Amino acid sequence: MNKKFFAAVFSALVIVSSYVFAQADTETITIKTSSKCEMCKKRIEKGMSLKKGVKSAILNLDNHTLTVVYKKDKTNPEALRKALSNIGYDADDVAANEKAYKKLPDCCKKGGHDHSNHKH
């Protein structure tokens, strides 16, 4: 029997299975947000990407939907929505954290772009 051959097959199996398990560890969710503008996008993407277990966070400003890729064993959708709320935005049915929301620039608040008395 060729031991080298078995060793090669075995290590190939280990590599393939660890890759498959690593893939199975991640999950993707989309969260509806109350984001308004490019500044919101930067704030949300930066803030969310720093959260534990988050691999990537991308906000689509056209439909205000945040797509998060996260590690299943490190975080969960509930924690991610809470995190977004703590940045100051609504996350699906989780309302924005009031304190964080108040700290947002006016243009990022709900209806922020509707103010007629906007000062420049």
Interface residues toward Cu ion, by CB under 5 A: 36-37, 39-40, 108
Q: How far is the CB of 65 from Cu ion (least distance, A)?
A: 15
The smaller minimum CB distance to Cu ion, of residues 68 and 87, is found at 87
The smaller minimum CB distance to Cu ion, of residues 42 and 72, is found at 42
Q: How far is the CB of 26 from Cu ion (least distance, A)?
A: 28
Specify whether the CB–CB gap between 54 and 82 falls below 8 A.
no
CB atoms within 10 A of CB 77: 15
The smaller minimum CB distance to Cu ion, of residues 80 and 108, is found at 108
Q: How far is the CB of 37 from Cu ion (least distance, A)?
A: 4
Residue 71: beta bridge partners?
Answer: 26
Q: How far is the CB of 111 from Cu ion (least distance, A)?
A: 12
- Paired sense of beta strands 65-71 and 26-32, if any: antiparallel
The smaller minimum CB distance to Cu ion, of residues 7 and 39, is found at 39
Residue 28: beta bridge partners?
Answer: 69
Tokens of 53: 């277990």
Q: Which residue has the tokens 């509930």?
A: 78
82 CB burial (10 A radius; 0-12, 13-18, 19+): middle
